[in-house]
Copies of this chain bind each other. A is one copy, B any other.
Amino acid sequence: MNVMNDSPRRKELTRQAAQLFVQEGFDRTTVRMLAEEMGIKSGSLFHHFRDKQEILAAVIEEGTRNALAIAHAALEACDRDPEARLQAMARAHLETLLTDRNAHVVALYEWRRLDDDARAHLGHLRDAYEALWETVIDEALAAGLIQGDRFLVSRFVMGALNWTVRWYDPEGERSPEELGRELVAMLMVPRV
């Protein structure tokens, strides 16, 4: 009947679904709309995905995995000092908006439409990403680079970061590199 592999075809369909989910919202996006966007008939859709929920889960999983991979890579490629690591994380985050913006918008706005299983599974992925941020923030706090309560700083940064999805245009004037620097500079205690 259907499969759950990660064929290239399925990946492409997932990308198209993300686009529609952003435009219309998950609930308003019908399987018929999805099928038309994909150039197939609505029945054929269920050859690739068990049900509509699985498409949502696939979209979010794809986006989060990429963000996690890019963040890891950025951390390994950069200097050891806390400031460079903070900047690397910020730059990586903004870079994923270039390729996976739709997926991140969906993850942000349609999270609660996931069923319990998917939410648990993807929750671990997201926790891993946030844990990465918290490590880097902790290092910066320990080095006296930024100030404030650990818990609070973390929430504050995650909020500002997630919000970037609403206004940042990665193809606009400011490059991810540049904006990442500015974000970190804003947080930091200035040198005296």
Chain A residues close to B by CB (< 8 Å): 25, 27-28, 109, 112-113, 147-149, 152-153, 155-164, 166-167, 179, 182-183, 185-186, 189-190, 192
Contact = CB atoms under 8 A, between A and B. Distances in A.
16 contacts: A25-B27, A25-B112, A147-B185, A147-B186, A147-B190, A148-B182, A149-B182, A149-B186, A152-B186, A155-B163, A156-B183, A156-B186, A158-B163, A159-B164, A160-B163, A162-B163
Among the interface residues A155, A157, A160, A167, which one has the most CB atoms of the partner chain B within 10 A?
A: A160
Given A25-B112, A147-B185, A152-B182, 7 more contacts: A152-B179, A152-B186, A155-B160, A155-B167, A156-B163, A159-B159, A159-B164
Nearest to A28: B27
Among the interface residues A113, A159, A183, A190, which one has the most CB atoms of the partner chain B within 10 A?
A: A159
Contacts of A186: 147-149, 152-153, 156
Nearest to A174: B152
Contacts of A113: 25, 28
Contacts of A190: 147, 189
A181 to B, nearest CB: 11
A55 to B, nearest CB: 16
Given A112-B25, A113-B25, A149-B182, A160 B167 contact: no
A27 B109 CA distance: 13
Contact of A159 (B109, B112, B162): B162
A27 B164 CA distance: 25
